[in-house]
């Protein structure tokens, strides 16, 4: 039977495979766009350079953009020593640097972690989570987010968000180009098949990328729950937090389709299941915690 550490190692290997797969999809999407514009290798190289610059910028600045989009503000120890001490204690237990703490003024109960590694990480909690959870529940949620940091989930989710966003953007350009100016290019002859192939790739690649992102996001939530229990030694706290969110659900106003996979629980209330869900069902998470 696989151990807990085997699961973490498998998660890291799968993350690497995910990044490789999404990178291939990015270049496939760039190739599709180059085909549609009849630009050949020159178009592919130009698109690849632009994509690499965009990806690097987003990787180093993406967490700051996410914090700004979420309306998160820093929380000082003077303002909330209770919450800051809780974060510092769990960081010590996880043997990672204490992440910066932020708060979103929203009465929904939720949280997320972001950053590129444990040295450059932040945990964001909503006002509702901080005020409505008792200590054991709050500790369970913070430990869950701390696990995302310690397991390097934040790095891979940041890269995934960047890659999927890039693929979707390229696909959008290709589709708009096809409907607005595709007929003119088709009339030149010789490139019709390539244009159709490019259009098919432009449609398929964003869908595949989104499905991969959702699948990885769901599996990471289960692993983060297990790691949180390892940190707190008290699964009932996390179970109670999930139950309270389920029974008193409110969406997070600032959450979007792109940022939804980062949150502790589904922040937009779509209640989707299966391939298109960003989180495992809360009932399944509670059931799994019952085995600890």
Other Cβ atoms less than 10 A from the Cβ of 244: the count is 17
Other Cβ atoms less than 10 A from the Cβ of 271: the count is 9
Rounded distance between C-alpha atoms, residue 7 and residue 13, angstroms: 10
- Contact assessment for residue 144 and residue 264, using Cβ atoms and an 8 Å cutoff: yes
**In sequence order, which ranges of the chain are alpha helices (DSSP H)?**
4-36, 40-69, 81-94, 127-132, 135-150, 153-186, 192-232, 235-247, 282-289
Q: Which helix (H) or strand (E) holds 122?
A: strand 120-126
pLDDT in tens, the chain (292 residues): 445 555 566 666 766 777 787 788 788 778 777 777 777 788 888 888 988 888 888 888 888 988 998 999 999 999 999 999 999 999 999 999 999 999 999 999 999 999 989 999 999 999 999 999 999 999 999 999 999 999 888 888 887 777 777 777 777 776 676 666 554 454 444 455 556 666 666 667 667 666 666 666 667 888 899 899 989 999 999 999 999 999 999 999 998 877 888 899 989 876 555 555 667 889 989 988 877 7
Check residue 179 and give its pLDDT: 64
Phi, psi at residue 125, to the nearest 5°? Answer: -120, 150
Rounded distance between C-alpha atoms, residue 46 and residue 55, angstroms: 14
Tokens of 173: 């350009």
Domain ranges of the chain: 4-71+153-289
Indicate if 137 belongs to the active site. Answer: no
Tokens of 115: 């950053």
Other Cβ atoms less than 10 A from the Cβ of 12: the count is 13
pTM, entire model: 0.80
- pLDDT tens string 261-272: 889 998 987 655
Half-sphere exposure of 209 toward its Cβ, with a 13 Å CA cutoff?
31
Catalytic residue among 79, 145, 172, 221: 145
CA-based nearest residue to 126, from 113, 108, 140, 100: 108
- Unique residue bearing structure tokens 């989710």: 157
b/e code 75-103 from CB counts within 10 Å (16+ = b):
beeeebeebbebbebbbeebebebbbbbb
- pLDDT tens string 139-182: 999 999 999 999 888 888 887 777 777 777 777 776 676 666 55
């Amino acid at each position: 039977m696989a151990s807990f550490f085997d699961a973490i190692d498998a998660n890291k290997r799968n993350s690497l495979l995910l990044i490789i797969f999404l990178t291939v999809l990015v270049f496939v999407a760039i190739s599709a766009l180059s085909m549609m514009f009849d630009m050949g290798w020159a178009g592919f190289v130009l698109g690849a350079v632009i994509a690499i610059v965009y990806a690097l910028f987003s990787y180093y600045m993406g967490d700051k953009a996410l914090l700004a989009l979420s309306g998160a503000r820093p929380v000082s120890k003077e303002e909330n020593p209770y919450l800051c001490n809780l974060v510092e204690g769990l960081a010590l237990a996880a043997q990672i640097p204490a992440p910066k703490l932020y708060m979103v003024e929203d009465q929904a109960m939720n949280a997320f972690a972001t950053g590129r590694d444990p040295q450059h990480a932040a945990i964001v909690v909503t006002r509702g989570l901080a005020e409505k959870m008792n200590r054991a529940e709050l500790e369970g949620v913070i430990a869950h987010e701390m696990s995302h940091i310690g397991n390097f989930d934040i790095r891979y989710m940041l890269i995934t968000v960047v890659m999927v966003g890039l693929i979707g953007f390229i696909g959008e350009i290709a589709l708009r180009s096809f409907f607005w100016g595709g007929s003119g290019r088709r009339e030149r002859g010789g490139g019709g098949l390539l244009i159709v192939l490019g259009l098919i790739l432009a449609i398929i690649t964003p869908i595949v990328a989104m499905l991969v992102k959702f699948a990885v996001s769901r599996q990471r939530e289960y692993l983060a729950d297990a790691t949180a229990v390892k940190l707190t030694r008290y699964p009932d706290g996390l179970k109670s937090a999930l139950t309270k969110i389920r029974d008193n659900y409110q969406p997070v106003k600032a959450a979007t389709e792109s940022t939804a996979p980062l949150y502790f629980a589904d922040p937009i209330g779509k209640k989707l299941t299966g391939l298109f869900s960003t989180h495992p069902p809360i009932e399944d998470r509670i059931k799994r915690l019952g085995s600890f």
